[in-house]
């Protein structure tokens, strides 16, 4: 039942389409190609196979959409990825900048049962080490509408909710600033002409390059 129903490639495409679907512009073939590091032609080829398998819907020259089945596969994969990341950090002492790469490989070979056991062993976490919500085994996900840090109003306080997880350099930098999910900050504003953002975290003032501030997401402080 948990047999390898889909190839690693198919799973990767479905996950890419799932993740791009919830960004502005949706999942375009060239977006998928860029995300997976393959040519646009390869995406066209794979999309045909996915459509034939009933995992994706596609009208030529339109955005790609997952079917219910395709979405379910993608959500399982996302769950496996995020649980594995959380487990590596909590149970095996990994740092948060090194788990993504390992999880990218393990997510395709770990059974759902293993992932469920990992989740149980660390107390059924609801978010991964970068703050991303973990889908339930049943395939339900919270999809919180966080704001980018750069969208805060001057003087506003907020809590760091989630950061992008794919860039290890970024994660090490954010970690060194203590800018991790759960941290409380106050936004002090942006320098003129698209300069750095300034925030207060604990008793320290920190400056963030504009490109970083769009990759860190915050929630209301309650």
Partner DNA sequence: CGAGAGAGTTAGTCTGCCCTAACTCATGTT
Partner DNA sequence: AACATGAGTTAGGGCAGACTAACTCTCTCG
> Binding residues for a second copy, per CB under 8 A?
4, 88, 91-94, 102, 105-106, 108-111, 114, 117-118, 121
Q: Are 196 and 184 in contact (CB under 8 A)?
A: no
Binding to DNA (CB under 7 A) within 23-42 occurs at 28-31, 36-42
Calpha distance 1→200 (Å, rounded) = 51
Span near DNA by CB under 7 A; candidates 58-66, 132-140, 141-149, 196-204? 58-66
Q: Which does 61 bind (CB under 5 to 8 A by kind): a second copy, DNA, none?
A: DNA
Among 14, 17, 20, 47, binds DNA (CB under 7 A): 47
Shortest distance in whole angstroms from residue 6 CB to a second copy? 14
Binding to DNA (CB under 7 A) within 81-100 occurs at none
Measured CA angle at 18 (ends 15, 23), to 5 deg: 130
Calpha distance 114→118 (Å, rounded) = 6
Calpha distance 180→196 (Å, rounded) = 19
Nearest to 220 by CA among 163, 146, 155, 153: 146
Q: Using the rule CB under 7 A, is 3 a contact of DNA?
A: no
Q: Are 213 and 206 in contact (CB under 8 A)?
A: no
Q: Which does 88 bind (CB under 5 to 8 A by kind): DNA, a second copy, none?
A: a second copy
Q: Are 125 and 83 in contact (CB under 8 A)?
A: yes
Shortest distance in whole angstroms from residue 25 CB to a second copy? 32
Shortest distance in whole angstroms from residue 106 CB to a second copy? 5
Nearer to a second copy, 90 or 186 (CB): 90
Nearer to DNA, 8 or 184 (CB): 8
Q: Which does 28 bind (CB under 5 to 8 A by kind): a second copy, DNA, none?
A: DNA
First to last CA, the chain: 43
Which ranges constitute the DSSP H helices of the chain? 8-21, 29-36, 40-52, 68-92, 99-106, 112-121, 168-176, 210-213
Q: Using the rule CB under 7 A, is 196 a contact of DNA?
A: no
Shortest distance in whole angstroms from residue 75 CB to a second copy? 20
Binding site for DNA (CB under 7 A): 7-10, 28-31, 36-49, 58, 60-61
């Amino acid at each position: 039942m948990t047999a390898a129903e889909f190839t690693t490639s198919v799973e990767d495409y479905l996950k890419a389409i799932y993740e791009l679907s919830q960004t502005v512009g949706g999942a375009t073939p060239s977006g998928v190609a860029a995300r997976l590091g393959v040519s646009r032609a390869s995406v066209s080829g794979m999309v045909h196979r996915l459509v034939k398998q009933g995992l994706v819907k596609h009208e030529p020259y339109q955005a790609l959409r997952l079917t219910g089945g395709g979405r379910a596969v993608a959500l399982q994969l996302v769950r496996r990825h995020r649980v594995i990341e959380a487990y590596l950090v909590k149970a095996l002492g990994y740092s948060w900048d090194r788990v993504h790469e390992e999880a990218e490989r393990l997510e395709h070979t770990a059974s759902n049962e293993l992932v469920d056991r990992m989740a149980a062993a660390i107390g059924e976490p609801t978010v991964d080490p970068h703050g991303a919500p973990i889908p339930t085994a049943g395939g339900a996900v919270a999809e919180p509408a966080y704001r980018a840090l750069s969208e805060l109003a001057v003087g506003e306080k907020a809590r760091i909710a989630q950061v992008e997880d794919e860039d290890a350099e970024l994660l090490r930098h954010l970690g060194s600033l203590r800018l991790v999910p759960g941290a409380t900050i106050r936004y002090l504003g942006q320098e003129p002409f698209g300069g750095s953002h300034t925030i207060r975290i604990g008793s320290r003032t920190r400056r963030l390059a504009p490109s970083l501030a769009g990759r860190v997401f915050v929630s209301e402080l309650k």
